[in-house]
Structure 1
Amino acid sequence: MTTLEACVVGLSSFRNLWRNLLPHISSNKPSTDLCWQCQRNNYQVFRSANLLEVVKSAKLKKQEQHLLLVQSERSVYQKMVADCKTTCQELQLSLGAPTEPVHYPSDPMQPGPIYFLTPRKCDLFGVCCEGIPQEVNYLIDEGMSSSKGSSTVINYSTCTISSPTTELDLNCDNCSGQNKNTFVLWYCAWQTMHKLHHSLDLHFLITGHTKFAPDWCFGLIKQRLRKTRVNTLSEIADVVKDSTVTGVNIPQLVGLEEGTVLVESYGWQQHLTPYFRPLP
């Protein structure tokens, strides 16, 4: 075999040469927020290459209308964030649905199997005030976790909103099991009936286009966790606190490993049911 007279380059030089010489070839970036409606519309547009122009125009128009709806909803959300930053009397909160649980003990440099058969689980629920911005991250140990339904949303949003406000805007993603249900709507009506807020608006982003402030804060926490060794709940709280330089993420333990309860949970579903009718 003949030896090629070629110069060996490092990884960074190889990447620079690839970007300069072959810019049209790139790796597909990971997609974490996929829209089923966009995928169906794009597939129909792709399959309409040999169809009539009228049919192709109709399929393109359908996708354009969907994107315009998403853009209008996103512009409303961005406007509320901008208005929230200009005044302290109006409060806007974004409720993040419980993320994938954090397992501990965890070691990024784990050399072999861990001692425990099943790691302990800690759920993460965030309520973000985008006018400051700061997010309160509730660390829910598996011994304190009741469910991932509406009770979780109502309990921890009540703990965050501790004082009456003039106007309150709640932004949620489209998780029907957590925040898009009858009990959360009853809770919002209960808040205004007791004059805790002059007005309360509940907003839902379009399904598949729901990335907002809590996802940004959760991402920073997950990045820090991948590089940090944690063995206890207090160490997870330290990771949440140190995940941002400016103190955006604030940890709040719901309870301790030995059973001490720090944040009380109440049966809002049983409390609200006698006073409200089921929504159609």
Structure 2
Amino acid sequence: MQFLDETNSLDPDADSSGDDSEAEDRGRLTDIESIPLPQDDPDLCKIRETKARGCSCKSMCISLFSDDVLNNHILNMREMSKEEKDMYIMGSLVESNKETTKRGKKRRRSRQTYMFSGERVCKKTFMLSFDIGKHFLQNIITHMNTQGVTPRKQGNIGKKPSHSLKYEDIRLVVQFISNFADEFGLPQPAALRGRDDVPPIYIPSDMTKKDIHGKYIESCPNDRHVHYSTFCNIWNQCLPHIRIAKPRDDVCATCEKLRKCILDAVSEEDKLEAARKMQDHITHAQTERKVYNECVKKSRETYHLQDKFVHYTFDFSQNVCIPHHARQMGPLYFQTLRKVHIFGVRSDGEPKQLNFLINENETIGPDGANVHGPDSVISMLDWALENHHSGETSCTIHADNCCGQNKNQYVLGYFMWRVMTKQHHRIEYKMQVPGHARCLIDGGFALIKKLYRRCDCDGIGQLEDVVNKSSSTNTAVRYPAWQWRSWKPYLSQFFKAVKGIRQYQHFSFNSDEPGIVSAQKTSGGIVEKIAILKDQEFSFDEIRRPAVLPASGLSESRLRYLFSHARPYVRPAFQEETCPDPSEVLN
């Protein structure tokens, strides 16, 4: 390079003094300043500018190194991590003085020797080549004098700032939320969600976490409190079972009445009495929930064994409508579309869930009527037990605690008919507390609804595909795979009603005791023997099912309504199936 060729290489340790040498330096700098500096590389520009103005030492040590050497070294320094850069700089510093002065006193200031590429350089050249500033270098020197050649650590490591969250703050938040839930919350028995056994507690839906945080601030002593975001994080991490109730949550009517009694109680005795009833109700629900969980667990563990424990669950889902589209058209929201009822029977040990799809024209009564009656329930349940059994002689069945649908003399008579005709040796029929009857079959329904919302269903065949695709355990069953039968008049010939049937939760049927039902009000309670056979000497000679009932179809008014209001929104390929022309159907 031109300005390096014109520069005399000097020894860094040599001294130069006098007016002649100063005049020569000024003349040399004047010549160098006239050389144009590069503008494309700021590092190279800085190096050449420093060389042009000098490095502040008499030896001009910066001229010992070429621009490429300095520039490459700067780039290498930038590629190092912070710890590597610190240790490398410490290794390039050499303390050049003794610990005491000539007078024997302790030296207060230290003098460093700066080394670069084996050469002794000045402080300015050292900072340029190592790409550091004045304060960075001074901190490195101070650290070496106090700590030695060791990695530097940030001063706050291992220390907590004064405004950090303390254990006492977290404890107060958890204690406040727990006390608030005890006073205003509605406890529930733990549902089978596969996560934990902590029963959830629902806080009334008219309250928000922001409102509860405001009450927390008012109760805090010394005005020390956590902010809203921290309050929510502590709530979610420490008390996830305490939740704000949602309007769609299906709460227990008894729990809701007792909760209102607690809130409206005036005297302490009234509040304690209502709280005691609430606790007894929750304990009862938890006990029945535990029975259900044990049945499910046992059926899964023993399903592949020879002496298996078979557990069934049956229930109705909320009906769905066709046509249904993922992008639903506005006018359909105000129409009464074609309803499809879903009845499920689940074998929890297998696991497998049969979902009976009952179109509106396939029910016993006209226009979808009588689908929840004893004839309908027993007909589908009988078909499932007859065609999808696992060869068991004994089974346990759980059902929703609904008197008009599941808990009546006809369903009890049907189970007694099965054991008296030797189709089963023993059947246990159990029910949970109303309002606390969540079970696995509801999970199967939820998977169907989840996929149903995202799919287009213009016909019953498309809905069948949705059910089959929703889960590997879900299977759709369409009418007329089964037949409706007149079970109600048939069973009423032989069996009578159980007095006070609402108070019983568990029923047992055994072929060794024909006509006798063993009933219990609670799990583990007193067993009561109840005779439901009208003639105790009667016995069934053969397995004979009642007469078949035909489907009633749709009325003329319903056909005309679907044709005029729903047919325009159905795809042409499914219009005749979903919304047929009344003139063609009636003729």
TM value normalised by structure 2:
0.41
Does 2:313 match 1:85? no
Query: Which of 275, 281, 285 does residue 70 from structure 1 map onto?
Result: 285
Unaligned runs of 5+ in 1: 1-17, 255-260
Aligned counterpart, 2:449: 222
Whole-angstrom CA distance in 1 between matches of 2:277 and 2:431 = 22
2:410 matches 1:183: yes
Distance 2:292 2:464 in 1: 30
* Residue 239 (structure 1) aligned with residue 466 (structure 2): yes
**Counterpart AA for 2:467:** V
Q: Which runs of 5+ in 2 are unaligned?
A: 1-226, 237-242, 365-369, 500-587
Say which SS state the counterpart of residue 165 (structure 1) adopts: coil
Match of 1:158 in 2: 382
Q: Alpha carbons of 1:31 and 1:57: their partners in 2 closer, same or farther (altered >3 Å)? A: same
The answer for the alignment partner of 1:249 in structure 2 is: 474
1:113 to partner: Cα distance: 2.5
Structure 2 residue 494 is the aligned partner of structure 1 residue 275? yes
Q: State how far apart, in whole Å, the 1-side matches of 2:274 and 2:320 are.
A: 42
Deviation at 1:118, TM superposition (A): 4.0
- Matched with 1:47 is 264
Q: 1:177 to 1:19 in 2, by over 3 A?
A: farther
Asked whether the 8 Å contact 1:172–1:179 carries over to 2, the reply is: yes
Which secondary structure state, in structure 2, belongs to the residue aligned with residue 197 of structure 1?
Answer: coil
Report the AA paired with residue 20 of structure 1.
S
TM-superposed CA distance for 1:234, in Å, is 1.0
Contact kept in structure 2, 1:84 and 1:90, CA below 8 Å? yes
Mark the CA change 1:253 to 1:19 in structure 2 (over 3 Å): closer, same or farther: farther
Decide whether the 8 Å contact of 1:90 with 1:166 is kept in 2.
no
Aligned partners of 1:56, 1:106: CA distance in 2, in Å?
49
2:484 alignment partner, SS class: coil
User: Is the deviation greater in 228-237 or in 19-28?
Assistant: 19-28
The question of whether the paired residues in 1 share the 8 Å contact of 2:355 and 2:476 is answered with: yes
Aligned counterpart, 1:124: 342
TM-score by length of structure 1 reads 0.83
Cα distance change on mapping 1:19 and 1:135 into 2, 3 Å: farther
Q: Which moved more, 1:181-190 or 1:26-35?
A: 26-35
CA distance in 2, matches of 1:208, 1:117: 31
Q: Is the 8 A contact 1:137 1:249 kept in 2?
A: yes
Cα drift, residue 152 of structure 1: 1.8
Question: Letter of the aligned partner of 2:437 in structure 1?
Answer: T
1:105-156 CA distances to partner (integer Å, 9 max, x unpaired)? 1112134435996422111000011112211000001111122111122111
* Alpha-carbon distance in 2 for matches of 1:243, 1:87: 27
Alignment of 1:8-157 (within 5 A): 20-21=229-230, 23=232, 28-48=245-265, 50-52=266-268, 54-88=269-303, 89-96=308-315, 98-114=316-332, 118-146=336-364, 147=370, 148-157=372-381
Residue number among 425, 437, 442 corresponding to 1:198 in the alignment = 425
C-alpha separation between the residues in 2 aligned to 1:99 and 1:233?
Answer: 16
Deviation sequence 1:152-209 (CA, Å, 0-9, x none): 2211111111255221111011122211111000001001101111110111110111
- TM-superposed deviation, 1:100: 2.5
Contact 1:33–1:211 (CA under 8 A) maintained in structure 2: no
**What is the root-mean-square deviation of aligned Cα atoms in Å?**
2.3
- Indicate the structure whose relative CO is greater, using CA pairs within 8 Å and at least 6 residues apart: 1
* Residues 116 and 104 (structure 1), Cα distance of their counterparts in 2 relative to 1, 3 Å cut: farther
Change (3 A) 1:19 1:226: farther
Structure 2 distance, partners of 1:71, 1:27, is 21
Q: Identity of aligned pairs, percent? A: 28
Moved over 3 A (4+): 24-28, 114-118
Question: Would the alpha carbon gap of residues 66 and 116 (structure 1) be closer, same or farther in structure 2, given more than 3 Å must change?
Answer: closer
Deviation at 1:19, TM superposition (A): 7.4
User: Displacement, 1:264?
Assistant: 1.4
Q: How many pairs are equivalent?
A: 252
1:249, 1:222 → 2: CA distance? 12
Q: Secondary structure at the match of 2:435?
A: coil
How far 1:66 moved relative to its partner?
0.7
Secondary structure of the corresponding residue to residue 493 of structure 2: helix
1:174–1:180 CA contact under 8 A, matched in 2: yes
CA distance in 2, matches of 1:266, 1:87: 34
Q: Which digits, 9 at most, give the CA deviation of each residue in 1:58-97, with x for residues without a partner?
A: 222111111110000000111111111122333111011x
Q: What corresponds to 1:4 in structure 2?
A: none
One-letter amino acid matched to 1:267: S
Q: Distance in 2 between matches of 1:234 and 1:191?
A: 34
Which residue of structure 1 lines up, in the alignment, with residue 394 of structure 2? 167
Letter of the 1:149 counterpart: G
CA shift for structure 1 position 263: 1.7
Corresponding letter in the other structure for 1:262:
A
Question: Between Structure 1 and Structure 2, whose CA radius of gyration is higher?
Answer: 2
In structure 1, C-alpha distance between the alignment counterparts of 2:334 and 2:273, rounded to whole Å: 57
Shift of 1:273: 1.8
